[in-house]
Amino acid sequence: VCFMFSTILTSMAFVGERHDGTLDRVFAAGTRPTEVLFGHLAAFTVILLGQVSVVIGIATLGFDIPINGSVFLLFAICLLLGWAAMCLGLVVSSKAKSEFQAMQLNMPMMFPVLLLSGILWPVQALPNWLQPISWVLPSTWTAEACRSIMIRGWGLESHSVIMAVIANTIFAVLMLLIASRTLRVKS
């Protein structure tokens, strides 16, 4: 949920700003592309904090899933996934020319992420040729880390938790670099 909504919200808002001319005015004022991207990440972090809180609240209160590990670590892992998704949304928005096109670009990415991330069924149950693709996705590592923290009570000593941090960080930085490069070319 955090991945999907963060990607869609970020890409739609950014495309809207470009379409309205707000982005052109910001660049005319001398703002660098990286400053614009970090500004968007900071602004949408407020919404992401609410999303993560609601998701964890629904998991614990609605589905009665215990949190045997650190609530702070669980929150941080989910927040990191949201930031990675926002960076992907910035890449999508840098390629899309309209909000409709941004949605068209988002949808083919969302369904494979949902199906391959190990949320609906274990990654080990996927066909052998799909498993490596699944483990490349930051959402797969995050799902495994959330299970490890909530159910098993594991912390940063767990391989899956550390890999979630690494996978999300690498994905976010890579997407942010691509978005920054694309914005620099267009501006």
Name, in order, each residue with C-beta under 8 angstroms of 44's C-beta and a sequence gap of 6 or more.
6, 9, 10, 13, 86
Cα separation, 151 vs 60, whole angstroms: 11
Taking CA 161 as the corner, what is the angle to CA 2 and CA 56, rounded to the nearest 5 degrees?
A: 35
Amino acid at the residue 51: Q
Cβ pair 89, 14 in contact under 8 A: yes
* Statement: residue 184 has pLDDT above 60: no
Taking CA 178 as the corner, what is the angle to CA 174 and CA 183, rounded to the nearest 5 degrees?
A: 145
Distance of alpha carbon 165 from the chain centroid: 12
Cβ pair 149, 78 in contact under 8 A: no
**Count of residues making up the chain:** 187
Q: Which residue has the higher pLDDT, 53 or 26?
A: 53
Question: What are the pLDDT digits (tens) for 156-179?
Answer: 999 999 999 999 999 999 998 998
pLDDT of res. 163:
95
Question: What are the pLDDT digits (tens) for 94-115?
Answer: 888 888 888 888 888 888 888 8
Cα separation, 182 vs 37, whole angstroms: 11
Taking CA 136 as the corner, what is the angle to CA 133 and CA 139, rounded to the nearest 5 degrees?
A: 110
